[in-house]
Structure 1
Amino acid sequence: MPRYFIELAYNGSNYHGWQIQPGTPTVQEELNRALSILLREDINVVGAGRTDTGVHASFYVAHFDTADPLTGLEQIVYKLNRITGKAIAIYDIYIVESGMHARFSALSRTYKYYIDKQKDPFTCDYAWKVYPLPDIGKMNEACRILFEYTDFTSFSKLHTDVKTNDCILYEAYWEDTGKQLVFTIKANRFLRNMVRAVVGTLLEIGQGKMNTTELRQIIESKNRCNAGTSVPGNALFLYNIEYPENIRDLKNKS
């Protein structure tokens, strides 16, 4: 069966995350519905990972298999965008090797979290407002400590079914863009709720409620109850997913 990667973005405001859940709208469910209608066969997309309720993706990847090879992929993208509505945008669909997997072939994921420095009617739905504003220097000092560890159990949702809580961090830093404080974190994988818990903990350090010594103690305790409160999901974006460079080889040959 031919396998295809589909690249998309979505506004998660009205969805209960990516993964299908009975009785609630999810991005995966909507994408399955749209593809099945258009291709006239039952399609089940497999995503690069979960996003929580209300979390957005400015770039997301999933894969799906079809009974026969697809033709006119650009037209399929156009028609899909008419079916899915405003909250989901399809960017590209391309054929890949049958062994490629949206989740397991991914090399890294990057998330961004947005903090408004002042009230802004144009960003308030996609950023969080905190008071007092945190010290970005203290938060970046804390970010450097994160690289000393790989086990992030203390920032993971309890009672998950993962085999390991180890993650390899590649980037973690805050920047001041003028109107916003933006947190960027990149790793090979993330635990459920991890980014929101990390951000909540870093904000407490930035506001002087916690110090870097306590951060080390929190991580080493491997106890979620010791870390900061999870921040709201509406300000969190899955920003990028990286794959091996040869991922598009079949597309380029076709």
Structure 2
Amino acid sequence: MRYFIQFSYFGKAYHGWQNQPNAITVQEVLEKALSTLLRKKIDVVGAGRTDAGVHAKEMFAHFDFDTIEDSKELTFKLNAFLPEDIAVQNIQSVQVEAHARFDAEERTYEYWVVKEKNPFYADFAHFVKLPLDIDAMNKSAQFLLEHKDFECFSKSNTDVRTFNCDVKHAMWEQKEDRLVFTIAADRFLRNMVRAVVGTLLNVGTGKMQPEEINIIIESKDRGKAGVSVPAKGLYLTKVSYPKKIFNEQK
């Protein structure tokens, strides 16, 4: 049978989600925990990659196993076994052909910025000391919805077949003591959100005008976009799937 596992993690200690030969990753830790508890080698397939240091409030992965009699008990045992920076919320059976990556319809990220130095946000948000024009940043962000090809925001030497993404939402909001950028799309390129945020911050600080983002996108040149902001401020917050892939829970 195939199962979806819903979990979250604080990414500071990990070199991203995906397994790497010489670095600890979230996937490696989760696979080891599941393999130990289920007494069988378990491979998990995630909804997507997150870079080193990036966090996930909601992440999904799928794995195959004969039968799990009590998913709530397995969830409890996993949380006792996993380190404190990874937490499992749910394990649910799905259709055999369901795929955590390819069946995801939409992904949502947040990026957190603080405008005053705050030691309690040192590992959670990016500190920007310059004044920011939020209206100008939001005007620029809306242009993202008018484009499809985002090669200018992609990490160099990536192996993707297409740079097209359908951005459905992009907005900055002041939430208590943090400035939060929320962006949703069907897919994202490697490093895309951090490069988008770096470019929008250039608008906010007056280094460029909102309309200039159109020129950058059309250029397809990573060198023309802003620098990538630090990973510590980035959170994967939601992954959406069609309801039909989930089996009814007993």
For residue 240 of structure 1, report the CA deviation from its aligned partner. Answer: 0.4
Q: CA separation in 2, counterparts of 1:165 and 1:58? A: 25
Aligned-pair RMSD on alpha carbons? 0.9
Pick from 67, 70, 73: which aligns with 1:72?
70
Matched residue, 1:187: 185
Matched residue, 2:8: 9
After the TM superposition, which parts of structure 1 deviate over 6 Å for at least 4 consecutive aligned residues? none
Contact 1:19 1:26 in 2 (8 A): yes
Contact 2:27 2:44 in 1 (8 A): yes
Contact 1:134 1:203 in 2 (8 A): yes
% identity of equivalent residues = 50
Q: CA separation in 2, counterparts of 1:105 and 1:149? A: 23
Pick from 227, 230, 237: which aligns with 1:229?
227
Matched residue, 2:56: 57
State the secondary structure of the residue aligned to 1:82: helix
Pick from 138, 146, 159: which aligns with 1:148?
146
Q: CA separation in 2, counterparts of 1:118 and 1:212? A: 24
Contact 2:137 2:210 in 1 (8 A): no
State the secondary structure of the residue aligned to 1:5: strand
Matched, 1:90 2:93: no
State the secondary structure of the residue aligned to 1:44: coil
Q: CA separation in 2, counterparts of 1:96 and 1:147? A: 32
Deviates more, 1:204-213 or 1:36-45: 204-213
1:101 partner letter: H
Mark the runs of 5 or more structure 2 residues left unpaired by the alignment: none
Q: CA separation in 2, counterparts of 1:19 and 1:197? A: 20
For residue 125 of structure 1, report the CA deviation from its aligned partner. Answer: 1.3
Deviates more, 1:208-217 or 1:157-166: 208-217
Aligned residues: 250
Matched residue, 2:43: 44
Matched, 1:239 2:237: yes
Matched residue, 2:27: 28
Q: CA separation in 2, counterparts of 1:118 and 1:135? A: 15
For residue 246 of structure 1, report the CA deviation from its aligned partner. Answer: 2.5
Contact 1:15 1:53 in 2 (8 A): yes
Matched residue, 2:248: 251
Deviations 1:19-41 (A, max 9, x none): 00011000000011000000000
Q: CA separation in 1, counterparts of 2:234 and 2:124? A: 8
